[in-house]
Structure 1
Amino acid sequence: LGQADTGSNRLYFVGKGRLSVVDVHGLGQFRSAVPNTPDVNYAWAIYGTLKIGQAGTYTLCITSDDGSRLFLDGSILVDNEGLHGMVEKCSKTDLSSGSHVLYITGFQAGGGVGMVATYSGPDTGMSKVLVKSGFAPSAVVQNRYFGKCDPTAQGDPTKFTICMFRSDVGLVSIPKIGQADSGNSRLHYIGKGKISSIDIKNVDRFRSVVPGVPGADYAWAIYGQLKIATGGKYLLCITSDDGSRLYVDGPLLVDNEGLHGMSEKCGSKELSAGSHIVYIEGFQAGGGVGMIAQYSGPDTGDEKVLIKSGIVGTNSRYYAQCNPASQNDPSRFTMCMFRSEVGLGRIPKLGDANNGNSRLYFEGRGHLPVVDMHDLRAFRQYIFDTPDSNYVWAIYGQLKIAAEGMYSLCISSDDGSRLYVDGPLLVDDEGLHGMVEKCGQKLLTPGSHTVYIEGFQAGGGVGMEAKYSGPDTGGKMMFMRSGVVPSLSPPSRQYYSQCDPTIQSGDSSQFTVCMFRSEVSIGQIPRLGQADTG
């Protein structure tokens, strides 16, 4: 957009107006702010001030039709680009108290249009609310927790605490546990106990922990600490009969409510290293009962395991001598080689090598500048003892990023391979096949990011490549080089001169919306900084 009215990209500034909140649903609402908004092929820039009263972790979301991006204090936080209907994308960030510059770009090729910006965090009581420029809401939060069952005051983090409640009326959903024994709720506290993991499959198990649990119409609250060693994306799942809900560090993550048999629901969340509060509510109307909580992610080698309070799950992905966390030389990729005594059809568990049962054995390791191998001789150049067939490799190093933004990371292999970035799986190119390329997109911040690649060859031709593209590469696909940032010319102007959020003037209590029209059909957000440049 910064190139509008320059003439080079046929994008022209239309005008600007004010919005109290970013909650636009239809062309008419855009035209109420900027009357000359076109029917099709237009783009917008909306900016204002996100005022934070209480510092902490906040979730910022944008929902749009078509694409949009959200920048906070100059850096991209949420990328919701592309041609699509109303789609929501969110991202978390730690915010200090004070004012933060919010800048949103978006476009519409034609048809229905919408643009919504919301956030949640300490200021909102973890509830999702519309962003209001220059305004920090006062959070009014209904007490979710019963006084004796508050996870923020837990004593022993190595065990889950389970609280049981009985209801005087028939239950069809989870009652408000925070109102138990209040006189009006007809919900009464029974007692509490401790369990090592949440794996309950009958009422007798509940009663072994908390005696006096009735045969029907009861509810529970279970809480403890999920300890994470390796930060990354985790999948958390609850299975219950009847309904249940899972909260992590306050906000709801998984909703498995209702009258039903044993049913599983899952949700994904980026978790940093350290302890995270897990809080689960559930109920049983009558009949069979169950409550199970599991998770998977970097700490578990992406295997689903029971959550144990205060205990880190076992990571079986890495072989002991090939753990990227202990890499000594980040300027080169490290490659480890393994041979299998049985025919391979998929990537085996490298963490099980040399344990006697897997029939998988470590052969050696070496170092390589780039991941670009197209025959067996290339593999043997780095590890001489690479077998003729049925072998597996692990390659890891550091992808160094200078400019924050969305990156495309690609692997090509014969046979299968997988690419993990900072722990979680990003690209899955598994199976028996010739050279096949698969790619995945990820928002990367400046600094070093751990790249870990596994692959295998059953027999015949072999190959393994790893490439990426993004802001650091000028959008060009390049081979990854461990610890090296490619040298490129500086990026073009981001903001249109009359729509620069860093020099906003006037009423800070309202958002400024700038509108642009395009003389060509658009399928992504144009460069607003180049509008009206000719």
Structure 2
Amino acid sequence: MGLFAQYFVVDSGVSNLSQIDFEAIPSDTGMVSELDTELSLGSLWADGPSDYFAARYTGQLNVEAGGTYTLYLTSDDGSALYIDGQRVINNDGLHSTRELAVTLNLAAGVHDIEVQYFDAAVHATLQLEWEGPDSNGIREVIGGDTFSHDNTGHGDHTDDSTGGDESGHGAGMQGLYGSYFVLGAGVSSLSEIDFDATPYGTGTASELNTYRSNGSLWDGGPSDNFAARYAGNLNVAQGGVYTLYLTSDDGSALYIDGQPVIDNDGLHGARELAVTLDLSEGAHAIEILYFEAQGRSTLQLEWEGPDSNGAREVISGDAFSHGEHTDDSTGGDDTGHGDHTDDSTGGDDTGQGDHTDDSTGGDDTGHGDHTDDSTGGDDSGHGAGMQGLYGSYFVLGAGVSSLSEIDFDATPYGTGTASQLNTFRSNSSLWDGGPSDNFAARYTGNLNVAQGGVYTFYLTSDDGSALYIDGQPVIDNDGLHWFEEQSVTLDLSEGAHEIEVLYFEQGGEATLQLEWEGPDSNGAREVISGDAFSHGEHTDDSTGGDDTGHGDHTDDSTGGDDTGQGDHTDDSTGGDDTGHGDHTDHSAGYIPPPTDASEVEAYVAAVKALPDAHAHGDDPSKAGEH
């Protein structure tokens, strides 16, 4: 009973079903009794992403009473319905919830059915209904005994499988079984990675022969901050002495018959380690662990011995095989990965090899060219009085939906200087080598006001953002949403004011703009830039204050979310949805910041009392960009 489901992680640029390889090895499989997902922000399968995924459902549609049926396929984004191998509904493309229908004359009996679907971003909807003799003339979701699937569940859609269980990984399949993982920034060794977690993707590798690549190991995966685990058998046709060579950038480890034989762990450039073993004829369990932090990725496994006729060559072909995979654990201890340290043949303490080749200075951060935008200053590249804001950049896991879920005090993936915040509907990264989706940024420094007076600030973002002035939250534009503007009007004194902007982008296009209107802009609305921004020394990412490095960001919260960002949209007098209004009648809408300690309590109480005129949830009608 039910349909056989195959789930896939797709690239952020997908806009139609034809761009998806539904014959690829799925990230996961399962069975569904019905298709009835409406406006969901979750995943279709356990531990799957909430955006940028696809699904293929196959099986049989069992018609008891032949006759005329109307089938309704509703989706956000694209979908298609096939009956008996013929496409009967094409609801493809990027769109919000949309229903298409077809009326068919279906004979009593079994009909092949297939539904293809993908979701780019925001809400996911997929519903399949019918109306006809088997529903007593009522429109209803198809379910129960109406759906069934055979042992494979997908007819001739199993061309890449040579047999075995429903997972498609039968005994004796050629190649190694690969499990792929997305990492957070800051990983520096294999021991920090849970290789027994549910993988982000899976596949089969006929050989391990990646050298200085800027791509991903799997379709839709990132080019940095990922890990892989390859498991299977090493099939030795002729017993004897073999030398195995494991080359990687960054860390890797090789296990034969459950024993660690090469430990090439840590952060380093392309580095080769070797071991010589006496291997008997037959199958030997093999496992390779690998991770890549940033820069180019390398992973090569070679051997030299009887089966290679004494030549050194990449292991491939029948030398690798794998059997059934009902989960990703191969047993052993809780980690399943030995101690990872027994066989290391050396290397420097940092092991960072060519990751620092592009650096023109000698700071201790090891961040290489991540400081190229620095124009001088101390060893960290951030001298006192430097123009612009100091940017710290972070890579996120899938599923982040608010700023409160992000540790902005973690070690950043990259740093740099931003002369202005003026990114609009970009498909690129905010920093060199960074991803185009699932990232965050923190900008800190000073806002230098030449002429004191009343200023209106406009913060526009896709997705969430927040603005802090002198340690106080003044705009909260958090959450998952299309580009959305919020504003606040403040009375700012002449001089330097501390400023901080937090931002994250999940999927789709990225927008982050910070503008102002006031005396220093001659009354015009414009992007803040030039001498208006500066930052001092940065020996770490903390700007002082409490342990979080974000000042009192939680002091002003009266409940609700954990960001403590309260309501910051009090200055709007109405107007259109963009929040542009006329932005002039703010006499009761701004609160001068405290000028000394005695005024802080009153200022906090006033901020808490402000109404929230603009905040709104995610609007499905804004999903067009995605």
- Quick check: which one's strand share is greater? 1
Structure of higher CA gyration radius:
2
TM-score (norm 2): 0.25
Higher relative contact order (CA 8 A, sep 6+): 1
TM normalised by structure 1 equals 0.28
